[in-house]
Amino acid sequence: MKNREDKGAASYITFLIKFLQRVRSRINKINSIMEGKYSPALLAFAVTVLAALTTILILFLPNYLGVANDGSTDEVMRSAGIYYMEKDPEQNYGDYFNKTYTEVASGTEVHGKVLNSQLIFFKAAKALDHLFTRDSIFDIRFLGLIYFLLYLPALYLIVRQTCERVKSFSEGILIAGAGLIIFSDVGYVTYFNSFYPEALWFLAMLYCVGAFMSFQNKRSVYKDLAALILILVSGSVLISSRRQCAVMGFILAVTVIRLISVRRSFIWIGGCAAGAFMLSLLSFICILGYPSDFSETSKLHAMTRGVLFCSADPARTLAEFGIDPSYELLADASAYDYLPFVKSGDSSLYHGFMDQYSISDIGVYYLRHPGSLIGMIDVSIKQGMDMRRSNCGNYEKEAGFPEKAKSLFWSGWSSFKELSVPKTAGYLFLLTGSIIFLFYRGYSIRPVKDRRNAVFLDMLFMVLFSLLSQSIVVIVNSGDAEMVQRLFLVGLSIDIMTYCVFAELLHKLGIV
């Protein structure tokens, strides 16, 4: 009996080895046939065409998909002169996606006072709508069309630059296919049919990352300058989209300074220095000039759903802020609970509690207690992994789907992340370690003769610090209560890092 089992196991192993050898032989044959017949540009073009087709199906053909409003974009909508058709909030928020709006304000609506980079695209979409319809109804698909046209070059750029390092056709197909699956997921592109800043963040980050990647190869000074200008423009759009993104300007500025050693010329050095100064100045202007993205309710949550939430001894923690320890009952309380223990705007919370601390005090607390900050970053990784707003549906009400229904079409990556990817800070540590191990060769923080081989690591550090900056800004200002609405850039940064690690592993291991 035992001999029979041993023979069965041996035959299975032999079959598996022969099967793998046949697969390897077939891959080698395909690579041999395709040698010289493909290029990174061709692979990226194919991905762009496929992404264009799927995005058209998602955004512009029935059933039209988008992201339902949750009320957080009302002010910027009014600033652009766009208003809801229905006056009943239950018809406008959360459950269903609305594609049509009016440009005529009712008597009770006040024009908004928001000024940010989103307004440029909203105004352009309104002008395009007027060009074709000449009425007072705004169709959000015109905004989606503008984002769509900007999306295709961004996707092409990032996939092409990642494929520049491939050794064989099969490796290129896998890397290009991964780019298609990740960056054309329905969870990303449905934001194009919405007023959320996520669409702009998505596009700006793809352009910044792709432009930084493009410095890996030697080329003319004009192409380097064009890439630098692309970084500055897309970075400026990102920084000025929301105050919470303003800090990213300093991170981009440092990375631009690192590009000085790419080319030795006075014009290039001056251009990089001027660009870094411009990004830093814009960050200062946005931090000082923009109103806060966070409310008094956010300040409450910064304590109850942040500081006290991660504290092992809430009473002692409150004492550090000079607050009566009896308020420890508010640990993990949220104004957004179905049956809230505290309510937004409750004046009884101000005297003796909320008037005893500021957002700066909370920031100092996390500096003194890095363990608590790491614990909250762990929570932010979990929340940021979900690129789709859980409380917002994708379908119009007329489509007949349940409230808050999400589309499963082309959702492979977002579903995989939700069900299978580890949602902890440990995964981020693993990614960071992999990045350092895979990309460290030839890296130096000091100027060297040619450091184009190090631009990938600089770019990935930029993405990593962008992720951490967004996590910390949200944690300090609102704890974990608003992470679902504000941590899109955390999930996108992890996706970019994952994609680059996957591509470099294939490149280094040569398994295909």
> Which residue, among 449, 477, 464, has the nearest Cα to 362 in the 3D structure?
477
Q: Structure pTM? A: 0.93
- Contact (CB, 8 A) for 263 and 223: no
Q: Which tokens go with 480?
A: 């974990």
Distance CA 419, CA 408 (A): 14
Q: Residue 223 belongs to what H/E stretch?
A: helix 221-239
Q: At what angle do helices 221-239 and 198-213 cross, to 10 degrees?
A: 160
Distance CA 65, CA 401 (A): 12
Residue 341 DSSP class: S
Residue 65 DSSP class: B
Q: What is the 3-state secondary structure (H, E, C) of 293-320?
A: CCCHHHHHHHHHHHHCCCCCCHHHHHHH
Please measure the distance between the N-terminal and C-terminal CA atoms of the chain and give it in whole angstroms.
39
Q: Residue 144 belongs to what H/E stretch?
A: helix 141-163
Distance CA 509, CA 503 (A): 10
Residue 359 bridge partners (DSSP): none
- Give residue for tokens 């990089």: 272
Q: What is the pLDDT along the chain (512 residues), one digit of tens a residue?
A: 555 555 566 777 777 777 777 777 777 777 777 787 788 999 999 999 999 999 999 999 999 999 999 889 999 999 999 999 888 777 888 789 999 999 988 767 777 888 999 999 999 999 999 999 999 999 999 999 999 999 999 999 999 999 988 888 889 999 999 999 999 999 999 999 999 999 999 999 999 999 999 998 888 889 999 999 999 999 999 999 999 999 999 999 999 999 998 888 889 999 999 999 999 999 999 999 999 989 889 999 999 999 999 999 999 999 999 999 999 988 888 888 776 777 766 777 888 899 999 999 999 999 999 999 999 999 999 999 988 888 889 999 999 999 999 999 999 999 999 888 888 999 999 999 999 988 887 555 555 555 666 888 999 999 999 999 999 999 999 999 999 889 999 999 999 999 999 999 988 876 66
